[in-house]
Each structure stands twice: as C-alpha cells, then as structure tokens.
Amino acid sequence: MSEYFDAGSFTPRYHGIFDTHAHYNDQRFDDDRATLLPALPSLGVSNAIVVGYDIPSSEKAVEIAGTEPFLYAAAGFHPENLEEYGEEGLEKLREILKNDKIVAIGEIGLDYHWKEFGPDIQQRAFRRQLELAAELNLPVIIHAREATEDTLRILADFKGLPGVLHCFSGSAETAKIITGWGFYVGFTGVLTFKNGRKPAEACAEVPIDRLLMETDCPYMAPEPWRGKRSCSPMIQSVAEKMAEIKGVTPQEMIDIAAENAKRLFRV
C-alpha cells in the first residue's frame, strides 16, 4: 500500500493543472483508480489525458476517460509495443480513434534504448501513424528515447503537424529545432531531479507558449516523491521548477501550460 498516493496528507498549492500524459490505464492503478480519479479536481488537477501504447491500453484509455468529464484519451502504438502493429492493428486503431474522448494519436515514436523492435519497423510504424494523424487531423504525442537523429529526420517531413515531444530528454538545441517547427515540448518530474540540468536547459530554450506539463504516471514521480508511483497532483513540483526557469509564478505557469494544452489538443 505504501506506493499509493496519500491524498489525505497532500495539500494542493495551486489549481488548474493539465496533466497532458498520464497512464491511468496502467495496472498499477487498478486497485485505487476508482477513488483517485474522481478526487483529482479537489487536488488541483483540472484535466488529464490518459495515453495508450498498444490496442488494449488504448481501449482502456478511452474507457477510463469516459468515467469523468475532465479526462481525455490518446491511442496509438508505442515503439516498444508493436506486437499487434500491422494492417489489422491499424484498422483497430482507426476504430478506437473514432471515440469522442480521443484528443490525439499517441504515444508513438522511436525508442532505441530497448531493442525489442528494430529501427526499421519502429520508423515504419512511426511514419504510418504520423500520416494517419495528418489524415484524421489529430495532434500527435511523441515518445523519443536515444533516437534524436532519426526522430528529427522523420519529423522534418511533418512540420506543421500539431504535436508534443513528451517526457523530453533531449538537448536545448533539439528543443530549439522542434519548437521552430511548431511542436510543443512536455516535461515530467525529471525536471525536478538533482541531475536535471539538461532538461532545465532545454526547458529554458522552449518558448513559454510551447510548454506542457505531464506526469507520465505511474513513472517519473517528481521530487519529493521520486521513486514512488506518480499521479497528476504531483505536477505542482514540476510547475514550481518550470516557473523558476521561466521567471513567472507557479500558478501563472500552470495556467499558461494549461492554455497551451487546450490549444494543442483542442479541448
């Protein structure tokens, strides 16, 4: 039980947090999802996007988003979860994307850290889903890990497509390039880590109207919860760090990031 977020001992310092990347479809939320999600508004969180990574998790994202008016969903094939990717899988994805709760295709992208699927199939799946997003006029949520060069090469063909590079771990230089192409950049609890100098430098480079906040929960819990299962209220720590970097108050930063999210995801 110790990994569970203790809402009773948590004091929200701000309001209006928009968590643009949450995996409440993860089994680590199975035991307390039904009580945690309805409590989010009282914990300073106004909106969250439940993000899928394969067909079952995308279906679950839509189902969970359907339980609360302030929740949305995204569906797609993550580069580590391409088992079902193929013509049949894409047809299933298209069906899921018809749901009213869907605000984006994601998460999609490239991950060369885990070698389960090679670069060729990852790149094909990424491109195909970017094309699908362009066809359906949906924003994209992009995951890129240890694959900066190929990610940039592919995204260069999709300049102007609305989207976010989530859990950004790239350099300030990469942040400058992609925001120049119109993409948004999302930061998680990593921004608050002691060794978070690189994301802080990247954050400084991102125009304030291109910044998004996210948990990537259950992962990436910010300080002082590092190592625990994360959830959306913890974003207040990310907001404080981001605000410090941008020279605004945390509440102003939360409001700006929420406006950015609403503009990108059209909600």
**Binding stretches for Ni ion (CB under 5 A):** 216
Burial per residue of 13-36, b for 16 or more beta-carbon CB atoms within 10 angstroms, e otherwise: ebbebbbbbbbbbbebbeebbeeb
In angstroms, the CA 129 to CA 125 distance is 6
Residue 78: CB minimum distance to Ni ion, A: 7
Cis amide leading into 149 (omega within 30): no
Q: Toward Ni ion, which CB reaches closer, 216 or 240?
A: 216
Extract the tokens encoding 4: 């569970």
Shortest separation between residue 23's beta carbon and Ni ion, angstroms: 6
Q: Which is nearer to Ni ion, 54 or 205 (CB)?
A: 54
CA distance 137 to 104: 9
- Which residue is listed with tokens 């300080």? 223
Name the minimum Å distance from CB 220 to Ni ion.
Answer: 9
Q: Which residue is nearest to Ni ion (CB)?
A: 216
Single-letter amino acid code for the residue at 18: F
The CB-of-255 to Ni ion minimum distance in angstroms stands at 24
- Choice between 222 and 250, CB closer to Ni ion: 222
Query: Least distance in Å: CB of 251 to Ni ion?
Result: 26
Q: Which is nearer to Ni ion, 97 or 243 (CB)?
A: 97
Three-class secondary structure of residue 159 per DSSP = coil
Residue 80 vs 216, nearer CB to Ni ion: 216
